[in-house]
Amino acid sequence: MRTSSVVHVEKGPIGRTLLHFAIPVLISQLLQELYNVADCMVVGHFGGQYALAATGISGMLLSVLINFFIGFSSGISVITSRLFGSYNFSKLKSTLTAVFRLVIIVGILMNLMGYILSGLILDLLHSPAEVRPYALSYLHICIFGLTAQIIYNVGTAVLRSLGNTRTPMLFFLLSGICNIILDIILVIGLGMGIAGAALGTLFSQWLLAAMILRYLMALDPAYSLTLRGDRLPLKELLLILKDGIPAGLQAVFMSISSMLVQITINRFGPDAMAGMTVYAKIEGCLYLPSFAYGIALTGFVGQNLGAGRYDRIRQSVRLSLVTMTLLIIPLSLVLLAASPVILRIFTNDPGILYNAHEAVLFTFPVYVIYSLNQIWLGAIKGMGNNFYPMVCTLLCYSLFRVVWCQTMTAFYSSMRIVYLSYDISFFLMLFMLLPMYFHMVRHLQQSLQTQGE
């Protein structure tokens, strides 16, 4: 077995093991932000206002498709982490084979459908006429990177479940460097504009997918990926879908709600659209650490659940909550104070800067609540419940935000209504997650007591 490539996190000091597991995920997410920031900076300064707005609305459309598989992969990682923690390698191998066959086929179908329907979807989102050509050009190229993104995200989730968070980080670093170099060559050097940025992204995504596939196939033969294995029985495939689909829908609900809220944002014009695009780049400094700890905790809890180490689950959650609080509160205050300077990295347009700064002022003071929610979500999913997080996301982050924006802007036409929808939804999610987490922990304690009798 390649002991250097996998980690059994049900062993060793909890704090150090959790950090060893989480930090590479955090770095990977920060690299992801750097990847996106590079595109945004190049397009913002060399592509113009409409191109910057187009990358924002196009990225939102693409995220609806890819986020399903990001969520789906987190559900799969719960299964693979339990199998790995219980040393059931033969079933782990057959599960990997079934999952990757499925996602490759579905990814190819999504490429074709996305290309055909992208123009129609832009129209449904009421994309402004001046932005639409740029967005369509970007989408028609980037849509063919969907399969690559699916392969990478599922492969990364699998490696996380095996305790390996370092390798995906290194692969993403190489891909990110490649993307930045291609941006400089294609957009600045050759003057290809938004199409050049899209081509650079496409090539980098396929490079990343190739590296992750090759690595999975080179793991220990007991559980390495092979696409030529026997078919998984239908019953077990349905169990995989049972865990994966709710987690995927959770991510889709987030993306769809963002698209529907985007309709409200679009009504305030290109400055508001581009402002939210720029805001998302600085928000990533808070969102990505929060998201990273949540997904790292899912794998950590899953392995310990498979190994029957229920005591380590509560301790890991407490440590994660303390870590996020100590990180996010100071970081949000620093970013809040420095935002007038940081935002100018992306654009000098006064209208865009005003909208982006307003978003920062309204959301950053309460962002720690979102971060804590990610810990609760990660723990609940790691303990095997993907359905309840899906319901919470649907109610709090999807339905509430959409209804709030559509209703309140009829009385007060301001982007501040949009910003408040995020703040209120954070607290609603918190009130829904806490009771379920403590209920599941009590159930695990009762199981442990029953086993000891």
> pLDDT tier at 155 (50, 70, 90 boundaries)?
confident
Selected residue with higher pLDDT from 329 and 162: 329
Is pLDDT above 60 for 136? Answer: yes
Question: Percentage of residues in the chain with pLDDT exceeding 70?
Answer: 78
Selected residue with higher pLDDT from 257 and 158: 158
What is residue 278's DSSP assignment?
H
293-323, pLDDT tens digit by residue?
887 788 788 778 776 777 788 888 888 899 8
Is pLDDT above 60 for 251? Answer: yes
Is pLDDT above 80 for 283? Answer: yes
d(CA 61, CA 280): 15
φ and ψ at 228, to 5 degrees? Answer: -110, 10
Mean pLDDT for the stretch of residues 333-347: 88
pLDDT of amino acid 243: 67
Selected residue with higher pLDDT from 34 and 221: 221
3-20, pLDDT tens digit by residue?
345 656 666 667 677 776
Rg (CA), the chain: 21
Q: How many helices (H) and strands (E) does the chain have?
A: 15, 0
Is pLDDT above 90 for 67? Answer: no
Q: What is the DSSP string of 131-149?
A: THHHHHHHHHHHGGGHHHH
Is pLDDT above 90 for 389? Answer: no
Q: Which residues of 378-409 are buried (b: 16+ CB within 10 A; e: fewer)?
A: bbbbbbbbbbbbbebbbebbbebbbebbeebb
Q: % helix / strand / coil in the chain, to the nearest 5?
A: 85, 0, 15
Q: Which of 325, 420, 314, 313 is nearest to 369 (CA)?
A: 325
Is pLDDT above 80 for 114? Answer: no
pLDDT of amino acid 447: 67
428-450, pLDDT tens digit by residue?
999 999 999 999 888 877 766 66
How far are the Cα atoms of 62, 114, 206, 340 from residue 144, in angstroms, in the given order?
Answer: 11, 9, 9, 36
Domain parsing of the chain, residue ranges: 14-447
> pLDDT tier at 61 (50, 70, 90 boundaries)?
low
- What token pair was written down for 100? 């990757």
Mean pLDDT for the stretch of residues 161-181: 82
CB of 326 closer than 8 Å to CB of 29: no
Mean pLDDT for the stretch of residues 137-149: 79
Output the CA torsion sign for 444, 448, 451, 453. negative
Is pLDDT above 90 for 1? Answer: no
Selected residue with higher pLDDT from 255 and 422: 422
- What token pair was written down for 395? 């109610």
> pLDDT tier at 350 (50, 70, 90 boundaries)?
confident
Q: Which residues of 223-235 are buried (b: 16+ CB within 10 A; e: fewer)?
A: bbbeeeeeebeee
What is residue 267's DSSP assignment?
T
